[in-house]
């Protein structure tokens, strides 16, 4: 005979029992802890980790979280660990001194690795040492005062306005996937948001009355982005299809697939490359290209760089100024064409 059980009730009983056990351990001088490393900005993972942290707080367990960028490869840490084992007979990175790191950097450089790649590896290493410091495994980050090697910035070439107009002409709102793809492209191009921010959008993030969108960015920082009337119209078209799926499989996520499940990063990448590859022969085509395109087109039309900084969610103006550098070839051309002495 089947029995209906309440998962919430069972969970509450387990948590109450754990609270008592945690208190008993603390009386003995033992502090139970949970350490979590979150790599990248996957919305589902962020929700999962956030729920675990909240549960830890309720029970009394110490929660230690550390976020690493999506570009942090496990391979970088393993390579450095193997280098330390072979050169210094170190089995633990908690004993690493900065002089060892400097010698490793020299080793990488002499092997022909570019400064940009070395800087990425060093960034991964620094983040890992920050995590060890949080855990109390080390007193000080050996890379605390490390300065990056000089490297030429890798600039992403944006689409031209005419190229994106060609993308718009390919929109097909006659079916669910077509309307969804059009919305993905419109949101990326008209708001400049990151792929992870797009994936984390929920239905209640849309404010039609004020024509704006609430976006949760890096480190869970919230910002408000204005929405164009054309984008709101595209949202309505998409939702007319989405609502039919939502009736069968309800979901809070704005962007879903035909089965009612939230889209994944690969889905956004596939959508963008599908359309952009038809209008551009640029070597690098990705969702981030539309973020660059957004900023570049606003700068070209005289928008204030500080306003662009706020919309993009940049912490410092120097990050936004990278987009201004893309315009240097165009500025030189205009200068040589328009100046009276040219």
Please tell me which residue in 120, 194, 292, 297 is annotated as part of the active site: 194
Please tell me which residue in 146, 242, 291, 292 is annotated as part of the active site: 291
Write down all domains in the chain, each with its CATH number in brackets: 32-70 (3.40.50.10860), 74-135 (no CATH), 161-336 (1.10.443.10)
Residue 88 is a catalytic residue: no
**Spatial contact of 216 and 200, defined as CB atoms under 8 Å apart:** yes
**pLDDT band of 53, cuts 50, 70, 90:** confident
Return the bridge partners of 207, or none.
Answer: 212
Predicted local confidence at residue 54, as pLDDT: 83
**Spatial contact of 39 and 72, defined as CB atoms under 8 Å apart:** yes
Residue 171 is a catalytic residue: no
**Rounded CA separation 253/274 (Å):** 23
**pLDDT band of 165, cuts 50, 70, 90:** very high
**Rounded CA separation 319/25 (Å):** 47
Residue 297 is a catalytic residue: no
Residue 107 is a catalytic residue: no
pLDDT at 7 over 90: no
Q: How is residue 260 annotated by DSSP?
A: S
pLDDT at 342 over 60: no
Please tell me which residue in 120, 121, 146, 314 is annotated as part of the active site: 314
Task: Report the percent of the chain where pLDDT is more than 70.
Answer: 89
Mean pLDDT of 46-62: 83
Please, what's the b/e burial string for 100-139 (b: 16 or more CB within 10 A of its CB; e: otherwise)? Answer: bbeebbeebeeeeeeeeebbbbbbbbbbbbbbbbeeeebe
**Rounded CA separation 19/7 (Å):** 18
Residue 83 is a catalytic residue: no
Residue 194 is a catalytic residue: yes
Please tell me which residue in 128, 238, 241, 323 is annotated as part of the active site: 323
pLDDT at 106 over 80: yes
pLDDT at 77 over 80: yes
Please tell me which residue in 19, 53, 218, 282 is annotated as part of the active site: 218
Kindly report the average pLDDT of the chain as a whole number: 86
């Amino acid at each position: 005979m089947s029995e209906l059980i309440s998962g919430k009730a069972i969970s509450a009983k387990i948590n109450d029992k754990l609270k008592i056990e945690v208190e008993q351990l603390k009386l003995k001088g033992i502090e139970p802890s949970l350490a979590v490393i979150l790599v990248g900005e996957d919305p589902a993972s962020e929700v999962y980790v956030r729920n675990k942290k909240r549960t830890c707080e309720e029970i009394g367990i110490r929660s230690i979280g550390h976020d690493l960028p999506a570009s942090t490869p496990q391979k970088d840490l393993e390579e450095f660990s193997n280098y330390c084992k072979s050169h210094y007979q170190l089995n633990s990175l908690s004993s690493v001194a900065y002089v060892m790191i400097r010698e490793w950097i020299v080793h990488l450089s002499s092997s022909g690795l570019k400064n940009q790649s070395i800087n990425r590896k060093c960034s991964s290493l620094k983040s890992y040492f920050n995590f060890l410091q949080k855990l109390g495994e080390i007193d000080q980050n050996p890379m605390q005062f490390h300065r990056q090697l000089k490297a030429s910035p890798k600039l992403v070439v944006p689409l031209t306005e005419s190229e994106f107009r060609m993308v718009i002409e390919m929109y097909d709102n006659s079916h669910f996937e077509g309307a969804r793809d059009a919305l993905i492209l419109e949101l990326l191009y008209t708001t400049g948001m990151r792929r992870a921010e797009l994936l984390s959008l929920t239905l209640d993030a849309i404010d039609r009355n004020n024509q704006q969108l609430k976006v949760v960015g890096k480190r869970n920082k919230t910002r408000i982005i204005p929405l164009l009337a054309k984008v709101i119209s595209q949202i309505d078209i998409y939702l007319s299809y989405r609502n039919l799926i939502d009736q069968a499989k309800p979901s809070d996520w704005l962007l879903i697939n035909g089965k009612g499940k939230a889209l994944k990063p690969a889905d956004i990448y596939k959508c963008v490359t599908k359309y952009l590859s038809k209008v551009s022969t640029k070597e690098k085509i990705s969702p981030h290209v539309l973020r660059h395109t957004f900023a570049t087109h606003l700068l070209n039309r005289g928008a204030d760089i500080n306003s662009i900084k706020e919309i993009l969610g940049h912490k410092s103006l120097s990050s936004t100024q990278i987009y201004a550098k893309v315009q240097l070839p165009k500025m030189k051309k205009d200068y040589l064409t328009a100046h009276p002495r040219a």
